[in-house]
Amino acid sequence: MTSGFTMSKSTKLNILVAFPYFSQGIYRFLSEKDPSTFRLIVDSGAFTAWNTGREIRLDDYMKFLKTIPSHWEYKAVQLDVFGNPEGTYENYHRMLDTGFENIMPVFTRGDSLERLEEFYSHTDYIMFGGIVIGGENRNYVKWFCEVNKGRDAHWLGFVNVPFMKHYRPKSVDSSTLYNGQPFGTLQYYVGGALLKGINRKELRKPPPPAVINSLTSAGFTMKEIALLAKQDSWEGGASPLRGGSSRGLAAFMTVTSHVRRAIDVEKNLGTRIYLALCGEPQVQNVYDAMNLLTTRKEMR
């Protein structure tokens, strides 16, 4: 896998949005897009509920899922109960009984192999949870991949490059597009599914060749890269250059790097990296990034 960028007409954005964040703004934005340009996973938001104490009612979630247009390419995750395989299993069957035949079940830590086989008797694509990245989860991921025998699974919150290259899961999700922004860090793609970071203080002088090569190969000009020395390039939300303002440029370059990595990984490994987003501006960001990658590639 190299850092060279290639994209075909069939390239799609892979987007994951959790139910608590799926606003009317996101719904309208995606409704106005060509549905052939994106794939969508709707997550139930169980981790958000567990982390914030916010209750997610199963009836509300199922009512929402019925509003998603049938012509969208999307999958929906069952309403799981974080850290509770039994409660998760009960919710799964409640959704099956209500008519959600192709819902994605969540196989999580504590579940049995018998239940794994039962899940695959209902669908060919499941969620693998309880593996948010950490040293203690690696052996569990290895065990699962061995017993799962290559069947389609989505790794929830576990984006480990050596593991992806070795096991090549159907899909994973990444929520780190904006993690560096509060710390003044720009992430850039170097190929091989790897992102690296550089602090804004280091960009007050000419950037290292690796940064320049990454950003120019993504379509940014040397003039735009030079704007990283300006303070307003690091302020505000991610935004491409509009109206002569460089505000939010560093964050937008990071988002573009994540989109580029996702395209490269899917092309070379077959693994889809779903970008976890939580607001209409973020969905707009990834579309702006895809547009930049597409139009400037055609111009080169």
Note the pLDDT tens digit of each residue in 180-226.
988 999 999 999 999 999 999 999 999 999 999 999 999 999 999 99
- Which of 106-115, 200-209, 249-258 is most confident? 249-258
Residue 3, pLDDT score: 45
Residue 83, pLDDT score: 76
- Tokens 């340009």 belong to 37
Residue 7, pLDDT score: 56
Give the span between the Cα atoms of 74 and 59, in whole angstroms: 20
Residue 53, pLDDT score: 65
- Tokens 């939580």 belong to 278
Mean pLDDT of the chain: 91
Distance of CA 274 to the CA centre of its chain: 3
The rounded percent of the chain whose pLDDT value lies above 90 is 80
Confidence of residue 6 (pLDDT cuts 50, 70, 90): low
SS3 252: helix
- When pLDDT is averaged across residues 101-127 and rounded to a whole number, the result is 95
Tell me the torsion sign for CA atoms 200, 201, 205, 211. Answer: negative
Tell me the torsion sign for CA atoms 178, 179, 184, 186. Answer: negative
- When pLDDT is averaged across residues 79-98 and rounded to a whole number, the result is 92
The model's pTM is: 0.93
The DSSP call for residue 67 is T
Residue 133, pLDDT score: 66
Which one-letter amino acid corresponds to residue 246? S
Note the pLDDT tens digit of each residue in 7-34.
555 799 999 999 999 999 999 999 999 9
Confidence of residue 130 (pLDDT cuts 50, 70, 90): confident
Residue 263, pLDDT score: 97
Which one-letter amino acid corresponds to residue 1? M
Per DSSP, the chain holds a count of helices (H) and strands (E) of 11, 10
Confidence of residue 299 (pLDDT cuts 50, 70, 90): very low
